[in-house]
Amino acid sequence: MEEDLREGRNDGRIQTRFPPEPNGYLHIGHAKAICMDFGIARNYGGICNLRFDDTNPVKEDVEYVDAIMEDIRWLGYQWANVYYASDYFQQLWDLAILMIKRGLAYVDEQSAEEIAKQKGTPTTPGVESPFRDRPIEESLALFEKMNRGEIPQGTMVLRAKIDMASSNMHFRDPLMYRIITDHPHHRTGYTWKVYPMYDFAHGQSDYFEGVTHSICTLEFEVHRPLYDWFIDQLKQDDYRPRQIEFNRLNITYTVMSKRKMLQLVQEGLVSGWDDPRMPTLCGLRRRGYSPAAIHNFIDKIGYTKYEGVIDLSLLEHSARETLNESATRVSAVLDPVKLIITNYPEQQVEMMDMVNNPEREDVGSHEAPFTKELWIEQDDFMENAPKKYFRMTPGQEVRLKGAYIVLCTGCKKDATGKVTEVYATYDPDTRSGLPGSERKVKGTIHWVSANHALLAEVRLYDRLFSVENPSEEKEKDFRELLNPESLKVLNNCRVEPWLAEAKPLDNFQFQRIGYFNVDLDSTADHLVFNRTVSLKDSWAKSNPS
């Protein structure tokens, strides 16, 4: 792609831009574009600017400007300059005037419907507007009036005079300007009454800034000839920005359209733009994804022109891979049942050393209290267990992670047959670190001390949609395809006391369960954890309950 450098074009200069419209939050698809735009600049010793493509005041807001900047910084990038397309309104206006004077643009007084009708179809040519050949002075005067607010919104537009029969629909006298008087622009207020369209603003903005490579997604491929045409009207020397397209990111079990995401937010189907189930960067952040995990993912997917759909499992893999190296291991029991070590002294408390991360000796360990009464997972006890069940079942030995090997002796059940307590005896010689602990035991389970454990809320997230490609379903509205089980809230979880110090967004591995982080809602009195992604579980896979 970048052999331009070898050919010495633009004096070997590389300049890109990331050009979001401030009308929504950035999502993982934008992250792909950001990594491309900023990454190219970084790799080739060039610069990348942030430019807000704010040519439609109706949809835009400063709220989004700030959020976008935060997300880009979070990904670890710093733009050379911040620009706004609205900075170029005067230059664009001047160019429009020049084009009218050259007979290349005219004011059209027809309605949107009439203009649309005259466009023709991709297979039939359009017809020319009756205003197409109006005198230059007339267009000039009207365009001025349009921008003075003397013309009602929606009644006139400025169009380029190109070719109504072109096989490229975008050449059929595209709109350059429309009147917008009922919405203030988030930066220029009511100064302007006419606003340039995307096609009349984007390439020129690139040109004004000195962009060498204008990288965008595939849907703009058809716009490229028009992009070049407008540049031709402007160009003074050899320099010209070049538009290059790559494929948009699609991921299974989610949607990547701003419109759909906005709908989910507005209709309360998710809790907000930063709902951990959303593919937004703020959502992923809240879910526990790190910038490293996002980069890891983007590096794996590549840039091509093929419009495919990436498996969600690849994103999850990227998260596991990065979190495995960084997340501190802790014990948390999500669905507790009491385990009583019948031969353990009533009041005794032993502090057990828990390794923070077996992958990394340098991060050390922390302590967890061990007592007679513990919480373990319901799942980790079975009264009548199948052969390959390596956890608690009467007569079987199991290791309590970081503590002792215990022998399960039985359980107590209530009237409904539900197990309320599990009993075991411990072998004092098998405390972790002692020679007696070397003994091989099939299973190891996690636990927390009943008297010391903290109560916590845990939010289990799953795929947002129950079908692989919600956008592809023609029959049903995408909202009907939401996964009803995308969020499960557990209110009776017990976590080890060490977690009292955890701060919002800290990542942990709940051993044997998954990666979790502290939610923004979490307080000292009410701990809240989000499941980022589960651990792989080859037992559950081969033994569906």
Partner RNA sequence: UGUCCCGUGGUGUAAUGGUAGCACAGCAGGUUUUGGUUCUGUUAGUCGGAGUUCAAAUCUUCGCGGGACAACCA
Joined tokens for residue 25: 């939050």
- Site residues for RNA, 12-71, by CB under 7 A, read 19, 21, 53, 55-56, 58-59
Residue 287 binds RNA (CB under 7 A): no
Do the Cβ atoms of 463 and 253 come closer than 8 Å?
Answer: yes
Q: Which is nearer to RNA, 271 or 466 (CB)?
A: 466
Residue 413 binds RNA (CB under 7 A): no
Q: Which is nearer to RNA, 155 or 191 (CB)?
A: 155
Residue 538 binds RNA (CB under 7 A): yes
Among 119, 134, 145, 183, binds RNA (CB under 7 A): 119
Residue 360 binds RNA (CB under 7 A): no
- Site residues for RNA, 495-534, by CB under 7 A, read 509, 511-512
Joined tokens for residue 406: 């215990």
Joined tokens for residue 379: 């799942």
Among 91, 153, 271, 483, binds RNA (CB under 7 A): 153
Sign of the CA dihedral with 323 first, then 327, 331, and 334 last: negative
Listed ranges 261-269, 279-287, 397-405, 418-426: which one lies at the site for RNA (CB under 7 A): 397-405
Least distance from C-beta 415 to RNA, angstroms?
A: 28
Residue 187 binds RNA (CB under 7 A): no
Q: Which is nearer to RNA, 476 or 526 (CB)?
A: 476
Among 69, 80, 136, 169, binds RNA (CB under 7 A): 169
Q: Which is nearer to RNA, 273 or 404 (CB)?
A: 404
- Site residues for RNA, 460-499, by CB under 7 A, read none
Least distance from C-beta 212 to RNA, angstroms?
A: 20
H-helix segments, 156-289: 198-209, 224-234, 258-266, 281-287
Residues 6+ apart with CB under 8 A from 540: none
Beta bridge partners of 338: 375, 421
Q: Is position 258 annotated as part of the catalytic site? A: yes
Among 107, 282, 330, 445, binds RNA (CB under 7 A): 445
Residues 6+ apart with CB under 8 A from 502: 508, 518, 522, 527
Listed ranges 114-122, 267-275, 365-373, 455-463: which one lies at the site for RNA (CB under 7 A): 114-122
With H, G, I as helix, E, B as strand and everything else as coil, classify residue 264.
Answer: helix
Q: Give the active site residue among 178, 258, 320, 401.
A: 258
DSSP letter, residue 451: T
Cα radius of gyration (the chain): 31
Q: Which is nearer to RNA, 141 or 165 (CB)?
A: 165
Residue 198 binds RNA (CB under 7 A): yes
- Which residue type is seen at 69? M
SS (H, E, C) 22-40: CCCCCEHHHHHHHHHHHHH
Q: Is position 145 annotated as part of the catalytic site? A: no
Q: Give the active site residue among 2, 9, 13, 21.
A: 21
Residue 451 binds RNA (CB under 7 A): no
Q: Could you tell me the end-to-end alpha-carbon distance of the chain, in angstroms, rounded to an integer?
A: 51
- Site residues for RNA, 228-247, by CB under 7 A, read 247
Q: Which is nearer to RNA, 386 or 417 (CB)?
A: 386
Sign of the CA dihedral with 106 first, then 109, 111, and 114 last: negative
Least distance from C-beta 121 to RNA, angstroms?
A: 4
Helix axes 28-43, 291-301, angle to 10 degrees: 80
- Site residues for RNA, 300-359, by CB under 7 A, read 300-311, 313-314, 317, 320-321, 324, 329, 357-359
- Which residue type is seen at 291? P
Residue 116 binds RNA (CB under 7 A): yes
Least distance from C-beta 229 to RNA, angstroms?
A: 14
Residue 383 binds RNA (CB under 7 A): no
Query: What is the DSSP code string of 80-148?
Result: S-EEEGGGGHHHHHHHHHHHHHTTSEEEE-S-HHHHHHHT-BTTB-----TTTT--HHHHHHHHHHHHT
Do the Cβ atoms of 48 and 15 come closer than 8 Å?
Answer: yes
Q: Is position 285 annotated as part of the catalytic site? A: no
Least distance from C-beta 313 to RNA, angstroms?
A: 4
With H, G, I as helix, E, B as strand and everything else as coil, classify residue 337.
Answer: strand
Joined tokens for residue 101: 């004077």
Residue 378 binds RNA (CB under 7 A): no
Residue 134 binds RNA (CB under 7 A): no
Distance between CA atoms of residues 288 and 295, nearest Å: 14
Q: Which is nearer to RNA, 347 or 388 (CB)?
A: 388
Q: Which is nearer to RNA, 144 or 521 (CB)?
A: 144
**Any idea which residues carry the catalytic annotation?**
21, 248, 258
